[in-house]
Every structure is written in structure tokens, then in C-alpha cells.
């Protein structure tokens, strides 16, 4: 079915480009929609366009590290087979920009390399235009899904947070969508992430006092700006104690750190304000140093979790009208969430 779509879209494109000079739009569509033309082009034209399988096309479009990793991981046969597959292919620079430790492990452990690459492949041919925002695609790594996001305001498409740059590269057995960063498979939900990372012991306590552990373990999707322990310790210790002993207050503060939907940094723009789940706005500033949220700096952006994204920040975000927040003004948003989202306990 996807092959048909690929062929059809290619066909429409070819017909339109070859007819534009001498036909009216009506003529073009009349020709396009004629069944015998569709059949004809499906058989002949597509072969003229795509001459290389996925590994060869990867080399051809400059993804040489990807091609050599595919070979090293023993995935050449799979990715040369009939497929079709869609490969989300990180650029050489993307592989280079991985933290040195990760690069080292990848270069020495072919099992891990294979798993990472399998996370970058899905069955079927997908053009960029066929993706839907928040769509989850099963990767070849069993149990792991790729989350697609399409951000209308800046027309960026991401795959598990990695922006697509060279789109819709057509191979004989599928499509390559190239990426400016490497996708890292999600370890678990937001709650799981907060629980397992030692840098978030205060946040973990806060989430539990606020009664938000279940909802942040649910389907979401959500985006959490996650203050590290270091961020919480910037608060006067009396204040911190007060917060951690006041469930309503801490819930409001945490919801001020949470967005509905998956917002990776590629979907943020400089100077914008975004609404939090507590329906208050936070200010986004993007500088050469990175992303700032109000007065906090994002120290580690774009962590993929199964139910959204996490950005680590170095200061706790406090709503300007903290006092009015404490009187429950915004809590009904939280109550509505229970109905709106599927909660996994
Ligand atoms: C290589 O990676 C796999 C998969 O993550 C892991 O199970 C294995 O222990 C690693 N091997 C070495 C030698 O580190
Ligand atoms: C959220 O706040 C805006 C004003 O900042 C308001 O217009 C809107 O109605 C609020 N949304 C809800 C659901 O109350
Ligand atoms: C966000 O920016 C606006 C305009 O600069 C400012 O008035 C407001 O105080 C800022 N909000 C926060 C929470 O920093």
C-alpha cells in the first residue's frame, strides 16, 4: 500500500513537472487521474528515479557513517532486502556530536550499535508529508517507538526529537529521512526517568508529594522541564521544606513545569510564550548558549521518554503569582486531565 502511495506521489510530481509548460491545471489533473496513466507510471517511472538501495543511497547522499555503521552492525542484508523501510538516518555530524562516552561504546559494541540502528528504522515507506504530529511508529527495535512531531509555526518535523533535514530521499527499497541528531531510544515514562536518575531525588519526592507520579507515568504526552537537585537547592532551605510539605502548592509548581504535548527544543522559538498545564505562560528565550525558560537554563534538552519529552533545567520555575496559585485557582485543570488522558497505574 505504501509502495502505491510512493509511486502515485512520484507520478503526480512527474506529470505536473512535465505538463506545467503547456497545460492548464484542469488538464493536468485530468491526465493525472486517468487510471491507465497511474498504472503506466507505477511500472516505468519509479525505476528511473530510484536506482540505489538504502545502504548505497546513504553513501550517495553523504551519510557515510550511517552506511558504515549499518555494515558493521550486520544490517546490510536487511536494509538491502525488498522492504520497504523508512530509515531515519543521522548525518555524520550527528554521530560526531554524540557524547564521547557514547561514541566510544558504539565503536566497540556492535550489539548496542545494532540496537541503536534498529531504533532508526521502521517498516513501510513514509514521506514527510504522510507523518502526523504525535504519531508513534514501531521501530525495528522490538517494543520501541519513534515519536513524530510536526511543529507548524516553524515547519520543523522531528523524529524522537531529532529534526529532519534532507527529506524524502527515495531508494529502491524505501525512503531515507536524514536527521541532524541521533535518536536515543526512550528508557521509560517521565516518572520512570525521574525515579531512575540520581540527579532528581528532590523532584521525585516533589512528584510523589504532589500525587503526580501516576499521571506522569500515563500516556500523556507531556513535556516536563525537570529541575535537578542542584536547582532545588538554590531555593532557601526553609522554602524548600515548605514546598515539599504542601501538596497543593508543589502540585501547582510542578504543573507550571509541565506542557501538554511533546515539545522538543526544535519546536520552540525565541521570544515565544508557551502555556503550561496550569494555564500560565512561561517565556522561552533561545540564545547561542541554548534554551532558557523564564530565568532557568536548559542544561540537558530533548530527553525522549515513552510519554513525551524531558528538558533538565538548573532553576525551579516559580509562578509570579505564587500566592494566588496556592488558593486552588488552577487546580481544576489537573482534575480534567484525569479524564482527558489515559492513566497507567
Ligand atoms: C554490548 O551491548 C549489549 C546490549 O546493550 C550489552 O548487553 C552487552 O553487555 C554489551 N557488551 C559489552 C562487552 O559491553
Ligand atoms: C487560560 O488562560 C488564558 C489567559 O491567559 C485564558 O484566555 C483562557 O481562557 C484560559 N484557559 C482556560 C481553559 O481557562
Ligand atoms: C515573560 O515575558 C514578559 C514580557 O517580557 C514579562 O512581562 C513576564 O514577566 C515574563 N514572565 C516570566 C514568568 O518571566
Give the CA-trace dihedral at 271, 134, 315, 186, to 10 degrees. -140
The C-alpha atoms of residue 233 and residue 241 are separated, in whole angstroms, by 11
Q: Specify whether the backbone of 280 is left (phi greater than 0), alpha (psi in -120 to 50) or beta.
A: beta
Do 308 and 222 contact (CB within 8 A), yes or no?
Answer: yes
For residue 73, the model assigns a pLDDT of: 95
Task: Classify domain 190-341 at the CATH topology level.
Answer: FAS1 domain (2.30.180)
For residue 49, the model assigns a pLDDT of: 67
Distance 256 CA to ligand 2 centre (A): 14
Closest ligand 3 atom, residue 295 Cα: 14
Do 317 and 311 contact (CB within 8 A), yes or no?
Answer: no
Closest ligand 1 atom, residue 105 Cα: 14
> Is the distance from the beta carbon of residue 269 to the nearest atom of ligand 1 less than 6 Å?
no
Find the ligand nearest to 315 CA. Answer: 3
Chain mean pLDDT for the chain: 83
The C-alpha atoms of residue 293 and residue 19 are separated, in whole angstroms, by 50
* Residue 118, SS3 per DSSP: helix
Give residue limits of the domains in the chain: 12-47, 50-179, 190-341
pLDDT in tens, 112-143: 999 999 999 999 999 999 999 999 999 999 99
Instruction: Output the residue whose Cα is nearest ligand 1's atom 14.
Output: 109
Do 264 and 133 contact (CB within 8 A), yes or no?
Answer: no
For residue 5, the model assigns a pLDDT of: 39
What mean pLDDT is predicted for residues 96-124?
Answer: 92
Find the ligand nearest to 185 CA. Answer: 1
Closest ligand 3 atom, residue 282 Cα: 13
For residue 21, the model assigns a pLDDT of: 34
Q: What is the CATH number of domain 50-179?
A: 2.30.180.10
Give the CA-trace dihedral at 61, 67, 70, 72, to 10 degrees. 180
Find the ligand nearest to 340 CA. Answer: 2
Closest ligand 3 atom, residue 273 Cα: 1
Q: What pLDDT band is residue 42 in, cutting at 50, 70 and 90? A: very low
Distance 200 CA to ligand 3 centre (A): 27
Equal fold, 50-179 vs 190-341: yes
pLDDT in tens, 232-245: 999 998 989 999 99
Cβ neighbours around 20 below 10 Å, total: 10
Amino acid at each position: 500500500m505504501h509502495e502505491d502511495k510512493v509511486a502515485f506521489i512520484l507520478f503526480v510530481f512527474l506529470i505536473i513537472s512535465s505538463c506545467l509548460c503547456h497545460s492548464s491545471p484542469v488538464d493536468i489533473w485530468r491526465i493525472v487521474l486517468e487510471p491507465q496513466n497511474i498504472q503506466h507510471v507505477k511500472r516505468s517511472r519509479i525505476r528511473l528515479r530510484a536506482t540505489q538501495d538504502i545502504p548505497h543511497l546513504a553513501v550517495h547522499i553523504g551519510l557515510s557513517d550511517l552506511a558504515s555503521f549499518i555494515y558493521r552492525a550486520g544490517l546490510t542484508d536487511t536494509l538491502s532486502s525488498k522492504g520497504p523501510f523508512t530509515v531515519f538516518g543521522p548525518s555524520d555530524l550527528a554521530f560526531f556530536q554524540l557524547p564521547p562516552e557514547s561514541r566510544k561504546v558504539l565503536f566497540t559494541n556492535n550489539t548496542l550499535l545494532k540496537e541503536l540502528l534498529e531504533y532508526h528504522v521502521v517498516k513501510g515507506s513514509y514521506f514527510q508529508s504522510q507523518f502526523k504530529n504525535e504519531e508513534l511508529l514501531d521501530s525495528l527495535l522490538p517494543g520501541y517507538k519513534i515519536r513524530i512531531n510536526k511543529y507548524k509555526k516553524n515547519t520543523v518535523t522531528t523524529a524522537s526529537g531529532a529534526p529532519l533535514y534532507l527529506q524524502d530521499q527515495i531508494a529502491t527499497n524505501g525512503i531515507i529521512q536524514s536527521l541532524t541528531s541521533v535518536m536515543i531510544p526512550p528508557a521509560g515514562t517521565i516518572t520512570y526517568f525521574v525515579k531512575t536518575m540520581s540527579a532528581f531525588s528532590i523532584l521525585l519526592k516533589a512528584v510523589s508529594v504532589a500525587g503526580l507520579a501516576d499521571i506522569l507515568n500515563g500516556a500523556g504526552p507531556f513535556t516536563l522541564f525537570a529541575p535537578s537537585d542542584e536547582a532545588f537547592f538554590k531555593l532557601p532551605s526553609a522554602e524548600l521544606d515548605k514546598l515539599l510539605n504542601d501538596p497543593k502548592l508543589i502540585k501547582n509548581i510542578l504543573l507550571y513545569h509541565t506542557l501538554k504535548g511533546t515539545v522538543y527544543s526544535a519546536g520552540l522559538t525565541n521570544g515565544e510564550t508557551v502555556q503550561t498545564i496550569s494555564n500560565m505562560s512561561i517565556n522561552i528565550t533561545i540564545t547561542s548558549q541554548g534554551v532558557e525558560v523564564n530565568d532557568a537554563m536548559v542544561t540537558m534538552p530533548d530527553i525522549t521518554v515513552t510519554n513525551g519529552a524531558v528538558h533538565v533545567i538548573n532553576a525551579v520555575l516559580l509562578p509570579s503569582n505564587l500566592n494566588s496559585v496556592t488558593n486552588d485557582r488552577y487546580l481544576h485543570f489537573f482534575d480534567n486531565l484525569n479524564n482527558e488522558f489515559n492513566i497507567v497505574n
